[in-house]
Amino acid sequence: MIAKIKAQLLARYPLLWNTRIVFLLPALLAIHILFYIAGFFKSFSLGNLHESYYYRYEGVVMFSVLLTALLVVIWLLFYLRNNALKAGYPLKCFHLIKEFMLLMVVFFASSTFFFTYQQGVFDRSERETNGIDIVEEVNQANLAFHFIATDQADFRIYRSCDSIAAREKRRQERLDEYYRLRDAGLKAEGDMINNEPINEDLDSLPLSYLYYCTTHYSIGNEGELTPPNPMHARAHTWLLSGNRDSVINQLMQLKILLAKYDIDNNLDPITHASSIFSTENFKVDTIYGSTNTFYDQYQQEDIPQAFIHVSEFQETINRIEEVRMGFWNVATILSMLYYAFAMALLLMSFRMTSIRVWFAALIGSGIVALLVSLLVISSNQGDFVLYFIGCLYGLFFLGSVALIRTRNRKFFSGILFLWTLWMQLSILPMIWGKLEDYHRHGYYDNAYEATNPTYQWITSHWHEMLEFNLILTLLLLAFVFMPLAKKWQANPEE
């Protein structure tokens, strides 16, 4: 069966036969399916959402890289057995570029196993959290934290949000007091709190739940959350009307959320609510700290008497948003495409030239890179180095074209050809980066930088440039470099 398929491929589709793509792709697909299954069926609970180790894949990445290397080596043992170009067989016009595209598919598909595993983990997490309304839960938590103090500064009178006018008036009073004390030599320059001068009279006032005016947690789309002012007005109404049951109920809602995500705490809603209403002016008498099991165990730190691991809820919300958005983005896809393109280019250049020329060019490129690095260090002139690299690229290209067309010095022309080919993918990004740097640091001051439309346009179109660079390099390969490689192969040996 397999022998018959090979014979049919050799007779009708020699390129598919030589690249072994018909057999390799199903094997790669099967491996991707296994990685996805392993990720999807990884043990999961809602408590894993705030545990960073659950979403770390170092071991999987290492295994994926080793598996990729093994597969590529085995595949190369078959692929490198035959070379129609070096054997002098007549090739169709776009045979080489088709072969290059197949190589890209092989390298892309064989290097993304760990991404497939990560996709499985994300899909499982998304399925388990699909019914969670994070907007509602964050609103519930934010309202509950109006009655839970984790930072004393949030409950001082000058941080309250009774009115914008009142806050501004207090700020101006504090500034006036600061300048008076500073001029009298009683305050040091810059002695401030939260960009406002210290005022012992205000700082000495008791902390109160009436002064809380912030939101503890956030989500990506802030506009979906309850605005702060109505939320704090609601909390104030509960306090001033003595509505202890509503406060208890809100704290119970928070307790349920913390238990749902396995977040450490020792919050007692009834006891805590009682302490709030037992003091005059709703004085804050309990500051909740955070606890970290690892830190407490190995640093011998005491766990606070009242504690809530507050950051874990934010980490949970962030993770839910992350798995819903997915990890695939333009930057990730482009990085993998550039890797596949570069590897395919390196292998294709090996196929298009002789072994002696290829290794000589590889060693020579290392020497040239070392010399350029020394030049960068010694000259400290980035502009000069960029122009120098550009001139080298032009000289390599013109020299290789001239020598190949005149059928002279095949060895040297092959080296120049390979150097030009290997540099091609980096030329446009280097020019783009230089343009960005010029419009950022050129003749513009810092104030103009932020509003320079050219700089902003260049910065915001890096992805489009990188996409265009791939297409441009592919076209140059098809219509310039590969025809040159055929001419080079046809030239007589030295």
pLDDT tens-place string over residues 396-442: 999 999 998 888 888 999 999 999 999 999 999 988 888 887 777 54
Q: For residue 469, what pLDDT band results from cuts at 50, 70 and 90?
A: very high
Residue 307, φ and ψ in degrees, nearest 5: -145, 150
Using CA atoms, how far apart are residues 492 and 494, in angstroms rounded to an integer?
Answer: 6
What confidence score (pLDDT) does residue 381 get?
61
Using CA atoms, how far apart are residues 368 and 391, in angstroms rounded to an integer?
Answer: 13
Residue 248 in contact with residue 277, Cβ under 8 Å?
A: no
How do the domains of the chain map onto residue ranges?
1-131+312-330, 134-156+205-308, 353-494
What confidence score (pLDDT) does residue 161 get?
72
What confidence score (pLDDT) does residue 2 get?
66
Using CA atoms, how far apart are residues 401 and 422, in angstroms rounded to an integer?
Answer: 15
Token pair recorded at residue 176? 């006036």
Token pair recorded at residue 362? 């590889």
* Range 280-300 average pLDDT: 65
Identify which of 168, 171, 177 has the alpha carbon closest to the alpha carbon of residue 199: 177
Using CA atoms, how far apart are residues 339 and 103, in angstroms rounded to an integer?
Answer: 12
107 by DSSP, 3-state: which?
helix
Residue 215 in contact with residue 142, Cβ under 8 Å?
A: yes
What confidence score (pLDDT) does residue 93 get?
79
Using CA atoms, how far apart are residues 151 and 211, in angstroms rounded to an integer?
Answer: 12
149 by DSSP, 3-state: which?
strand
Indicate whether this model's pTM tops 0.85: no
What does the H/E/C string look like for 435-475?
A: HHHHHHHCCCCHHHHCCCHHHHHHHHCHHHHHHHHHHHHHH
| Residues near 348 by beta carbon (within 8 Å), at least 6 away in sequence | 96, 99, 100, 103
Helix (H) or strand (E) run with residue 193 in it: strand 192-193
| Residues near 138 by beta carbon (within 8 Å), at least 6 away in sequence | 217, 218, 219, 225, 317
DSSP string, 71-131: HHHHHHHHHTT--HHHHT----TTHHHHHHHHHHHHHHHHS-HHHHHHHHHHHHHHHHHTT
What confidence score (pLDDT) does residue 443 get?
46
Residue 95: count other Cβ atoms within 10 Å of its Cβ. 17
Find residue 196's DSSP bridge partners.
Answer: 193
What confidence score (pLDDT) does residue 11 get?
57
The burial of 345, by beta-carbon neighbours within 10 Å (0-12 exposed, 13-18 middle, 19 or more buried), is given as buried
Residue 456, φ and ψ in degrees, nearest 5: -65, -40
Residue 388 in contact with residue 375, Cβ under 8 Å?
A: yes
Q: 């894949």: which residue's tokens?
A: 57
Residue 31 in contact with residue 107, Cβ under 8 Å?
A: no
Residue 246 in contact with residue 238, Cβ under 8 Å?
A: yes
- Tens of pLDDT, residues 106-156: 999 999 999 999 999 999 999 999 989 999 999 999 999 999 988 888 888
What confidence score (pLDDT) does residue 170 get?
60
- Tens of pLDDT, residues 483-494: 999 999 888 876
Q: For residue 179, what pLDDT band results from cuts at 50, 70 and 90?
A: confident
Q: 């450490």: which residue's tokens?
A: 264
Using CA atoms, how far apart are residues 231 and 146, in angstroms rounded to an integer?
Answer: 9
Residue 114 in contact with residue 35, Cβ under 8 Å?
A: yes
What confidence score (pLDDT) does residue 200 get?
46
The pLDDT of residue 195 is above 50: no
What confidence score (pLDDT) does residue 301 get?
45
Amino acid letter, residue 329: N
The Cα-based distances of 362 to 357, 365, 421 in angstroms read: 9, 5, 12
